Chains A and B, each alone.
Chain A
């Protein structure tokens, strides 16, 4: 069992809130994702056992939504905006810089499982472009120095 008792309890609670077990797929996946950090076939199977629907239904829903990571991610998920405002203010070179600094490409995770780098569409902070989001926090008006500082802080914190 990958899911903890706590997660299972939460999923069962959700089961009470919806008329059909099929509706619980997404909430259950969210619970699992919060706990594990990614979802995969084993988790689909566990969820399908808990809410008693076929595994394939869970798998279909989970793969449709791109924000459920399908493989383990680093502790810090770096999401760099590459839409127009950020792009005009040098997001591309910034992404290149982060790639070089962490030694990974977009979509990859560092070997120490600390950072995962992805690009995202507009995060609604165009006024402070270029920007990125690391886990739940925004980092704005970025420069190379600032990025150095941020990554250094996170690394020492970890």
Chain B
């Protein structure tokens, strides 16, 4: 469907034909000369023009000569018209560009030796190219002086990770435009005018958005530089390795700069891929690499001896693992070993783990969803169907209607958030945000619907009912839809959700229209108990309004390789096709009862599973019931944990194996749209660490079975599994929506949401110093109204109690929240957030009291 629309658009667009440097060029009407030139490979120098931003024409560097025009034209804002004759390299053009450069250099300090941009500076390159070696300007240069010590050395921090030097600025406005246009942030501005115009942070604000790291990268000169890269090394000395972000599920393409002498990663920049990341990186992607350089990395295997973990060699550790696993299997059978695998690992590691458990241990006790609550043990649920639908990131760009359900995109899917902004800016898309609390990423939304927490499926039902009431759907379909829902009318549904019916009607009308639709379902749904109900409600809505036929709807994968894990069959219950394929490859498939994370933990409590393998990740910190998982893992006879760092989970382990970070070996990752991308090896292994897949293979070999005959065999098997396309199945008819409602305990009235901080993801990023500069410790985010009622102000500690736990943490007041939901980030291990949670609850509720100092 999507392709049909695109083709239609393409054939309808009128074109213009003109001559550029003697070449005949035909482009779509409305294309600028600069874009046309780039499309045929003619290079026109620019400063202010950026491929992802609207042109402004402020730097005048992109001069071209157009015949019969009295003056040189600024090509980035001049539309190509029929019959134009353009010269991009004539003497007149060169003189014009030279003059522009001379003007730009009037006030530019020639401090290239101390400037971090030196070596990758566009101004430096163009000055060199045009051979300007002297200035005719004989007067004192205009200088901004430092606020503190009245010197012209004007480097100042305008954000946790950004340094501004106003003297070097050439006022191309790229940063300010990107900040406002692409990221929707208003913390950077241009002040004053003329000679003394300056870029600076907004009064009293810090440039600390989750995208702030992009600003130094797009700065053509050294006016904005990154603290992370400050005075580290010269760019020409750095080794560059193409890689993939190990944190974002969209798999942003990155370039890793390494110091090969010291075996360190020095920085990460974007490797623009229009289909995936659009050239923008979130700060998590940009600064998250720092965990690989951390001093705290595990260097050697550890074996627990008399209650203490002591350093050991690999041989010893593998020996112990092999013996203990053999012991357990002899005593209790092979089903007694369970595996929790991190979905941030590469395909090879995930596949090896799956093969180890299914062929060597001969069981189905393996899961990668360690932070979901109450996973069902039965196959073919509607939620599974929803997960297995295809989704394309680029299709967001030309969607007319985008519905985001249960996700604060800025905390989960940074790239998709920017895509949605782009769709709004360039395609006038209408965005609807449906969330239990008001989110910051809803600033682009046409309507933001805040429903009562725990009524996710009812809001979808309400949209369907609204469409029926407005007469937007066929009678037959309406009848089928109504039969399956318990609620009779729209009014009833909106009352349960606590929303206005006008807003719901707005969404219903938009979804029922002809435009292309993207429905995105986020983590608030996936991690919750109600995911099955939401999935069935969404399928009903899709059948009712035909969403399926005019767009895409998907649950976005959360981690770097969640999608890969699903495709490789790492779930306890792989799809039928996967089982067939695996059977054909392995010659067997275990018929043991499949066990999800929850079931495995329950069996650990019953001491039916007594051996465990945790590969990456830190389930104790992320599983939504800390007591349950801690007790479960403690009851194990033998636990092996592989990780980069010592964590709550490795503390319990009998053997801890040091794992290599993603930059230390070549691995491939499948992003949320199913695209398989390769991350190359950037640095050598730190200490004695080994890649996860190698660890698994070593364990298997020690036990006595070789998983693969050769590396090629592994590669072909993975390739074969990944070639399986999503089946896009939908239920054949309307399905029952079974809403889950809960009694509210009056003692614990305030609903709690556990999210990622916008600058953190999962459990590892707290080891990255740059990211902790943005947010270093846990906080409880609440509305100004609730804070006023609790008589607390920003930064004051409060006691948060749930029926199972109690923690104290400082308050953060967020103006955009307007109901009583509180949010706690889960990324900081010093505060045990998950100890407040109960896995059986759909909505966690807490009591908050002020701490008297």
Q: Do chains A and B touch in the complex (CB under 8 A)?
A: yes
Binding site for B on A (CB under 8 A): 41, 44-45, 54-57, 59-60, 63-64, 66
CB distance from B166 to the nearest CB of A (A): 14
B186 and A54 contacting across the interface, CB-CB below 8 Å: yes
Given contacts A54-B186, A56-B186, A57-B186, whether A63 and B191 have CB atoms under 8 Å apart is: yes
* A44-B203, A56-B203, A57-B186 known, 7 other contacts, Cβ within 8 Å: A54-B186, A55-B186, A56-B189, A56-B205, A59-B189, A59-B203, A66-B193
Chain B CB within 10 Å, residue with most, of A41, A44, A57, A60 = A60
Query: Does B715 reach chain A (CB closer than 8 Å)?
Result: no
Q: What is the CB-to-nearest-CB distance from B805 to chain A, in angstroms, rounded to a whole number?
A: 38
Q: How far is the CA of A64 from the CA of B191 in the complex (A)?
A: 6
Q: Contact mask B161-190 → A, CB, 8 Å, 1/0?
A: 000000000000000000000000011111
Chain A positions within 8 Å of B191 at CB level: 59-60, 63-64
Q: Is the CB of A56 within 8 A of B187?
A: yes
B202 contacts the other chain (CB 8 A): yes
Chain B interface SS verdict (over half): loop
- Chain B's interface size range is 10 to 19
Is B745 among interface residues, defined by CB-CB distance under 8 A? no
Alpha-carbon distance A60/B193, docked complex (angstroms): 9
A60–B173 alpha-carbon span in the complex (Å) = 13
Q: Which residues of A contact B202 (CB under 8 A)?
A: 54-56, 59
CA distance A88 to B192 in the complex (A): 31
Instruction: Kindly list chain A residues whose C-beta atoms are within 8 Å of the C-beta of B190.
Output: 60
Q: B193's closest neighbor in chain A, by CB?
A: A64
B203: A residues at CB distance < 8 A: 41, 44-45, 55-56, 59
The binding surface of chain A is classed by DSSP as helix
Q: Which residue of A lies closest to B191 (CB)?
A: A63
B204: CB under 8 A from chain A?
A: yes
Chain B min CB distance to A74 (Å): 23
A62 shortest CB reach to chain B, Å: 9
Contact with A along B409-423 (1 / 0, CB 8 A): 000000000000000
Q: List, in ascending order, chain A residues with CB within 8 A of B204's CB.
A: 41, 45, 55
- Is the Cβ of A63 less than 8 Å from the Cβ of B192? yes
CB distance from A119 to the nearest CB of B (A): 17
Cβ–Cβ < 8 Å partners of A60 in chain B: 189-191
Q: List chain B residues, Cβ under 8 A from A57.
A: 186, 189
**Smallest distance from the beta carbon of B784 to chain A beta carbons, Å?**
13
A67 and B624 CA atoms in complex are apart in Å by 59
Q: How far is the CB of B397 from chain A (nearest CB, A)?
A: 26
What are 6 A-to-B residue pairs whose CB atoms are below 8 Å? Answer: A45-B204, A55-B205, A56-B189, A56-B202, A56-B205, A57-B189
> Would you call B192 and A64 a contact (CB within 8 A)?
yes
Q: Would you give the shortest CB distance from B211 to chain A, in whole angstroms?
A: 16
Using a CB-CB cutoff of 8 Å, which residues 86-140 of chain B contact chain A? none
A82 to B191, CA, bound (A): 27
Q: Which residue of B lies closest to A65 (CB)?
A: B193
Report the separation of the CA atoms of residues A54 and B204 in the bound assembly, to the nearest whole angstrom.
12
* Chain A residues with CB below 8 A from B187, complex form: 56
- Contacting residues of chain B (181-239) with chain A, CB-CB under 8 angstroms: 186-193, 202-205
User: Given A41-B203, A44-B203, A45-B203, are A56 and B188 neighbors across the interface (CB < 8 Å)?
Assistant: yes
Q: Which residues of A contact B193 (CB under 8 A)?
A: 63-64, 66
Bound: A63/B186 CA distance, A:
16
- Min Cβ gap B283→A in Å is 20
Task: Compute how far the CA of A125 lies from the CA of B189 in the bound complex, rounded to whole angstroms.
Answer: 38
Nearest chain-A residue to B184 (Cβ)? A54
How far is it, in angstroms, between the C-alpha of A41 and the C-alpha of B188 when the chains are bound? 14
Q: Which B residues touch A59, using CB under 8 A?
A: 189, 191, 202-203
Distance A45 CA – B186 CA, assembled complex (angstroms): 13
Task: Please report the C-alpha to C-alpha distance between residue A122 and residue B138 in the assembled complex, in whole angstroms.
Answer: 30
- What 9 A-B pairs are tightest by C-beta distance, nearest first? A54-B186, A41-B203, A56-B202, A56-B189, A63-B191, A60-B189, A56-B186, A63-B192, A64-B193
- The residues of A that contact B188 with a CB separation of less than 8 Å are 56
A60 vs B204: C-alpha distance when bound (angstroms):
14
- Alpha-carbon distance A55/B188, docked complex (angstroms): 10
Contact partners of A45 in chain B: CB under 8 A: 203-204
Residues in B whose Cβ lies below 8 Å from that of A55 = 186, 202-205
